């Protein structure tokens, strides 16, 4: 999770969990849904004028109900398919697709793997790493590649970043499929 | 003195062995505003913080009024946010932090160690002026439109997104910090250098120990908040990126800096209250305090551990779980010295000759409410439970049990206990007891429902809330009206007693301690004959016919 402006927090009292969402970095929260129903969710970190009206509902459905809802009400795109569109529109695919003429690392199967760094050592490619690499590619240079990618700081809004990360996360290494 | 003389409105003429007291020594406004007498400066602080308390309390009352309805129809969201912000800022920085140290500490510290004044009397007056300057800045923000960041001033809300008067409010708080630092410095030097002959460290009253520990926190922690708030001003006014990620900063850094001060600040508010209670209980149980040295060590222990628990305010902001584990453990450790003190107080009361006068009623209330506040602190220090109740009304209830149930009750208890010494007049005892009971009742009706609200999931700082929380909110608001009456009574009868109260003897409570050996109110230089200490502290009970 991330925030586009001030610090907020996602709080779901029925599940007894909450986590801050902070601008500039990802935080994580997970739960296992074992009961269907609708539950309050609140912003629990004071965020300004309409803090107390920043609320919503968590809906947990049985798989069959969810399928019905998907076909009837949901938007046609998932986060991953939206991410693919974004991946094209910002021109990421020009360098990062397979068979690209520019020597850029392929992103297929990247997620969760260790990435060797130029100065030695490795870093695990998690959500935060992917986001940081898009916004500030100079920070952690990858071994074996010339750093040519420009920074996208301020050029890609947070919602598109989330779509991009989801897309890259879902990109499987085709060689192993 | 005859009963008629005890009610006389003008003091008897001065004699060689009984000079004019500090109140009647001079009468002009100038003699008050330029005084360097620690007792008069204490009174100046008392007047100032009472005024700030009224402002903070009115804001709290309006917050409770707004929460009677769930839809937020009474005020706009902006007004509500400004109300709770001004309540928090004023109560924390302009009432609770200076409350006991700057009033009772100033007045009593030299008296209790047998000194003529503080080590730096002029610096002491300067502290008051610095305090008032800061207060003017912050209160000016209320007049020109308010500030809506909450007392925590979290970035980037405070630096980039708030459209209110954040900078003047910050300047006010920064300036007030210097007043705390100067007072702390003054107290530390005074305790080290000004003790009367024979008053060695383990003969000092516990109140002096707590003032000393509090002063160390003033000196070590306040500069951190000063620096952090200056960085906020820099970012907001000049766009220098420190905390806002859009400017290359890190908002979590501010949380660290803020709580590195603001958790120790809790002990700036709590330790002095513990000191007051440690004076009241032996006097009204007529029993030597149980485990004197353990209370001294526990005081220093609390003042030390408090510097290492700030991370418990950040369990749900993505902080590493290993850091959270350490902070959780250290927060639990705070319970040990706190419990030592509570056991010592109750053991002192045990089999004592108990007098349930107003100060003792407050002290008894304090022990109960502090225990509840402290134990719910352990809930919050537990990682798994905090995940649920963090930033809910449970937290609000918890710290009000510590700040109001603890510090405020100790302040009122101390005010009644030393009122005869401050003013030379007795307050009406019956009204005192009625008010103490009203405050205890009103406080619990106001804040206990908030524990339940929080556990049910109502987040704090909420103006609009789901309908199912309305009943408990109405109960809480109803309690606050009882609490308000409990606060208004003392304001009236204490003022009344200044002119119409019975004249107080030197030691109306049969209490021990150097401050009770001099007249009420004390002469300008505290003691006619400089005291020599050849007795142990809390040497109760006072035997029949013994002159204290």
Q: Where are the domains of chain B?
A: 36-516
b/e per residue, B439-461, with b = 16+ CB within 10 A? bbebbbbbbbbbbbbbbbbbbbb
Higher pLDDT pick, B376 / A91: B376
Check if the beta carbon of residue B373 is closer than 8 Å to that of residue B344: no
Put simply, the answer to whether A46 touches B150 (Cβ < 8 Å) is yes
More confident residue, B307 or A79: B307
- Report which of residues B487 and A88 the model is more confident about: B487
CATH superfamily of A8-72: Cupredoxins -  blue copper proteins (2.60.40.420)
Are the Cβ atoms of A11 and B148 closer than 8 angstroms? Answer: no
Name the band, by pLDDT with cuts 50, 70 and 90, for residue A175.
Answer: very low
Residue B268 sits at the vertex; the CA angle it makes with B262 and B269, to the nearest 5 degrees, is 95
B242 Cβ neighbours under 8 A, 6+ residues apart: B155, B231, B232, B234, B235, B249, B250, B253, B254
pLDDT of chain B, 548 residues: tens digit per residue: 445 555 556 666 777 667 788 988 888 999 999 999 999 999 999 999 999 999 999 999 999 999 999 999 999 999 999 999 999 999 999 999 999 999 999 999 999 999 999 999 999 999 999 999 999 888 898 889 899 999 999 999 999 999 999 999 999 999 999 999 999 999 999 999 999 999 999 999 999 999 999 999 999 999 999 999 999 999 999 999 999 998 989 999 999 999 999 999 999 999 999 999 999 999 999 999 999 999 999 999 999 999 999 999 999 999 999 999 999 999 999 999 999 999 999 999 999 999 999 999 999 999 999 999 999 999 999 999 999 999 999 999 999 999 999 999 999 999 999 999 999 999 999 999 999 999 999 999 999 999 999 999 999 999 999 999 999 999 999 999 999 999 999 999 999 999 999 999 999 999 999 999 999 899 999 998 899 999 899 999 887 666 54
Residue A136 near residue A151 (C-beta atoms within 8 A): yes
Nearest to A7 among B251, B465, B466 (CB): B251
* pTM score: 0.89
- Superfamily of structural domain A79-176: Cytochrome c-like domain (1.10.760.10)
Query: Hey, are the CB atoms on B162 and A27 less than 8 Å from each other?
Result: no
Q: Using a CB-CB distance cutoff of 8 angstroms, which residues of chain A are in contact with residue B316?
A: 9, 18-20
* Domain range summary for chain A, segments of one domain joined by +: 8-72, 79-176
CA nearest to B250 within chain A: A24
Return the residue of B nearest to A56 by Cα.
B466
Residue with tokens 């709580």: B259
Q: Identify which of B497, B538, B464, B265 has the alpha carbon closest to the alpha carbon of residue B358.
A: B497
Asked whether residue A176 carries a pLDDT value surpassing 60, the answer given is: no
Structure tokens at A74: 């949901």
> A24-57 burial, b for 16+ CB within 10 Å, e for fewer?
bbbbebeeeeeeeeeebbbbbbbbbbebbebbee
**Residues written for chain A:** 177
pLDDT(A66) > 60: yes
Nearest to A22 among B152, B317, B457 (CB): B317
Angstrom distances, CA of residue B385 to CA of A55, B47, B117: 22, 42, 49
Chain A residues within 8 A of B161 when measuring between CB atoms:
5-6, 48
Domain B36-516 grouped into CATH 1.20.210.10: yes
Inter-chain CB proximity B391 and A17 less than 8 Å: no
- Partner-chain contact B464 A20, CB within 8 Å: no
> Does A75 or B427 have the greater pLDDT score?
B427
Look at A52 and B246 and tell me if their CB atoms are within 8 Å: no
Task: Look at residues B457, B461, B405, B443 and name the one whose alpha carbon lies nearest to residue B80.
Answer: B461
Model confidence at A177: pLDDT above 70: no
Contact criterion met (CB below 8 Å) for B480 and B60: yes
What local confidence, expressed as pLDDT, does residue B547 receive?
54
């Amino acid at each position: 999770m991330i925030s586009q402006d001030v610090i907020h927090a996602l709080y779901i009292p029925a599940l007894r969990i909450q986590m801050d969402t902070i601008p500039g970095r990802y935080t994580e929260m997970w739960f296992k849904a074992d009961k269907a129903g609708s539950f309050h969710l609140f912003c629990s970190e004071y965020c300004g004028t309409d803090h107390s009206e920043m609320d919503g509902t968590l809906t947990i459905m049985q798989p069959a109900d969810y399928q019905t809802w998907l076909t009837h009400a949901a938007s046609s795109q998932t986060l991953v398919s939206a991410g693919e569109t974004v991946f094209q529109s910002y021109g990421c695919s020009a360098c990062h697709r397979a068979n690209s003429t520019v020597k850029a690392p392929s992103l297929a199967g990247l997620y969760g793997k260790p990435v060797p760094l130029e100065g030695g050592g490795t870093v695990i490619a998690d959500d935060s790493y992917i986001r940081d690499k898009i916004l500030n590619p100079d920070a952690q240079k990858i071994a074996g590649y010339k750093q040519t990618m420009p920074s996208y700081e301020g050029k890609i809004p947070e919602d598109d970043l989330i779509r991009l990360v989801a897309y890259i996360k879902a990109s499987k290494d085709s060689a192993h499929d | 003195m005859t009963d008629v003389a005890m009610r006389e409105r003008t003091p008897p003429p001065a004699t060689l062995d009984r000079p004019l007291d500090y109140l009647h020594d001079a009468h002009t406004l100038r003699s008050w505003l330029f005084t360097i007498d620690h007792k008069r400066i204490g009174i100046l602080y008392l007047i100032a913080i009472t005024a700030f308390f009224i402002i903070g309390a009115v804001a709290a009352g309006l917050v409770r009024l707004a929460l009677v309805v769930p839809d937020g129809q009474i005020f706009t969201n902006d007004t509500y946010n400004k109300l709770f912000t001004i309540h928090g800022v004023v109560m924390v920085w302009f009432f609770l932090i200076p409350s006991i140290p700057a009033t009772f500490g100033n007045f009593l510290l030299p008296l209790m160690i047998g000194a003529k004044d503080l080590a730096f009397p002029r610096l002491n007056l300067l502290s008051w002026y610095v305090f008032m300057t800061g207060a003017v800045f912050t209160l000016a923000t209320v007049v020109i439109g308010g500030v809506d960041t909450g007392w925590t001033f979290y970035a980037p809300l405070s630096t980039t997104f708030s459209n209110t008067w954040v900078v003047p409010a910050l300047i006010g708080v920064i300036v007030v910090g210097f007043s705390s630092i100067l007072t702390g410095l003054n107290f530390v030097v005074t305790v080290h250098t000004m003790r009367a002959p024979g008053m060695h460290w383990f003969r000092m009253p516990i109140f002096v120990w707590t003032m000393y520990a509090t002063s160390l926190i003033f000196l070590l922690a306040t500069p951190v908040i000063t620096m952090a708030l200056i960085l906020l001003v820099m970012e907001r006014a000049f766009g220098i990126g420190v905390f806002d990620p859009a400017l290359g900063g890190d908002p979590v850094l501010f949380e660290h800096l803020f709580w590195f001060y603001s958790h120790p600040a809790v002990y700036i508010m709590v330790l002095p209250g513990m000191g007051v209670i440690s004076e009241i209980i032996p006097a009204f149980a007529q029993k030597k305090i149980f485990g004197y040295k353990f209370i001294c060590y526990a005081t220093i222990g609390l003042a030390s551990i408090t510097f290492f628990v700030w991370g418990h305010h950040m369990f749900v902001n993505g902080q590493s779980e290993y850091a959270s584990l350490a902070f959780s453990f250290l927060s639990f450790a705070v319970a040990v010295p706190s419990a030592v003190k509570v056991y010592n107080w109750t053991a002192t009361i045990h089999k004592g000759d108990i007098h349930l006068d107003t100060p003792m009623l407050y002290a008894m209330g304090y022990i109960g409410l502090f225990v509840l506040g402290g134990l719910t602190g352990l809930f919050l220090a537990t990682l798994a439970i905090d995940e649920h109740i963090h930033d809910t009304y449970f937290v609000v209830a918890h710290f009000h049990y510590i700040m109001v149930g603890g510090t405020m009750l100790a302040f009122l208890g101390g005010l009644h206990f030393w009122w005869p010494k401050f003013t030379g007049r007795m307050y009406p005892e019956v009204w005192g007891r009625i008010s103490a009971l009203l405050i205890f009742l009103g406080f619990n009706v106001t804040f206990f429902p908030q524990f339940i609200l929080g556990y049910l999931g109502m987040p704090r700082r909420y103006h609009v809330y789901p309908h199912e929380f309305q009943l408990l909110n109405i109960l809480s608001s109803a309690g606050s009206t009882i609490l308000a009456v409990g606060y208004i009574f003392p304001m009236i009868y204490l003022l009344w007693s200044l002119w119409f109260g019975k004249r107080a003897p030197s030691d109306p409570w049969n209490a021990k301690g150097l401050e009770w050996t001099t007249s009420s109110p004390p002469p300008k230089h505290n003691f006619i004959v400089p005291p020599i200490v050849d007795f142990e502290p809390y040497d109760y009970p006072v035997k029949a016919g013994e002159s204290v």
